[in-house]
Amino acid sequence: MNNQESTLIKSVDSPCIRQCCLDEQDICVGCKRSIQEILDWSQANPERKQKILENCRNRAKLDEKDV
């Protein structure tokens, strides 16, 4: 792994879009993170953050199907 790849892996931006409101399942309607994922984010390693982002994308897809 070169330095550029290492930097990319270490830098994972938060999915927060400042529309914070939890639904009945404690999922943020803005970023689609669970309350536990929101709490864990600041201490999560890059791999965990990528998994959280994957969970968010999956939840967003499910929401689109429900519409």
pLDDT at 5: 53
> What six digits make up the tokens of 43?
């201490």
The dihedral through the CA atoms of 45, 59, 35, 22 has a sign that is positive
pTM to 2 decimal places = 0.80
pLDDT at 64: 85
Cβ neighbours of residue 32 closer than 8 Å, sequence gap 6 or more = 15, 55, 56, 57, 59, 60, 63
The domain tally of the chain equals 1
Residue 9 lies in a domain: no
pLDDT tens by residue, the chain, 67 residues: 555 555 555 689 999 999 999 999 999 999 999 999 999 999 999 999 999 999 999 999 998 887 6
- Residue numbers of the domain that contains 43: 16-66
